[in-house]
Amino acid sequence: MSPSIKSLLSYASSLLLPQIPISNPPGNDVPSSSSSSYYAPLSGAPACPIDGPMSCHNSTAPSDSCCFVYPGGRMLLTQFWDTHTTHGGGEEDWTLHGLWPDLCDGTYDQFCHMTPSYRNVTEILQNYGQEELLGFMNRYWLANYGPNSRLWEHEFNKHGTCINTLAPSCYGEGHKPGQEVVDYFARAAALFKMLDTFYALEKAGITPHGRKHYPLADVQKALEGYSGGKVVLRCIPGGRGSHHNDVLHEAWYVYFVKGSLQTGQFVPAQNLGKEGDAGNCAPWVRYLPKRSRSTTMGEEDL
């Protein structure tokens, strides 16, 4: 089958963002856009050896904490299948939920303050000349309620602050507030571009349909074969008052990292960890077509 529109465009658009190698108290601000200066994503990140240990696979304490993701070394790139078409989006669009640093056993921390929290993500990205990244996020990283920036701030403050290699100290004396925000969102967006969930399912003959049910095992096999690693699937009830989670709603791609989040190699995980299987879908699931809607729709984990 032919690739989706997103898949056809991803190569050209990904050139605008970093490529992903694969196999203080809340409320900090940065200077306003009136004093903006361009920051090339990941350029301020620490230089790390290419033969460093992989997260969650070390037997001894790492010698350089800025080149080893810890303790949240199990990285999840999470996506939504929204129930409505999004403003400016299409019927084939899965959307980006977040990039989460789960602990090695599959549990997770949150709001860790390893890096400062911020309440002005949009201004930070504008300040550092990231208009292309902002345009991408306004298409694929969408909030269910309120402005998209509310979701972005929530995702960084809840999850991004738990990624130790984003700490200001890892950027050295040249660090400027907010550079770690650029790196977090640029890295998440670039990884998302490499994971075209719609295309992966379409290749396996799994396409949106109002009544058809698909074996959950087939959906899992299609996505894990496509990504090369484990994928957690999440579902929601299919009707009002229903408690039967049979409507496909989320896909979480699981990785380990060799090196820092900013410049390290993302390695598809071959296990979910003791507590990492958060899947909740019924054995047979529906993959519903999107319904048209003029307002922006998405989802968040608030």
Would you name the residues annotated as active-site residues? 97, 155, 159
Helices 148-158 and 131-140 cross at an angle (nearest 10°) of 100
The whole-angstrom separation of Cα 178 and Cα 29 is: 8
What is the identity of the amino acid at 29?
D
Decide: 30 and 177 in contact? Cβ < 8 Å: yes
Q: Give one word for 211, left, alpha or beta, with left for phi > 0 and alpha for psi -120 to 50.
A: alpha
Residues 6+ apart with CB under 8 A from 295: 87
What CA–CA distance (Å, rounded) separates 116 from 27? 8
Residues 242 and 286: their CA atoms lie apart, in Å, by 14
DSSP state, residue 186: H
Distance from C-alpha of 48 to C-alpha of 79, rounded to nearest angstrom: 29
Distant-in-sequence, close-in-space partners of 32: CB < 8 Å, separation ≥ 6: 123, 127
The Cβ of residue 191 has, within 10 Å, a number of other Cβ atoms equal to 21
The stretches of 94-215 forming alpha helices (DSSP H) are 121-127, 131-140, 148-158, 179-193, 197-203
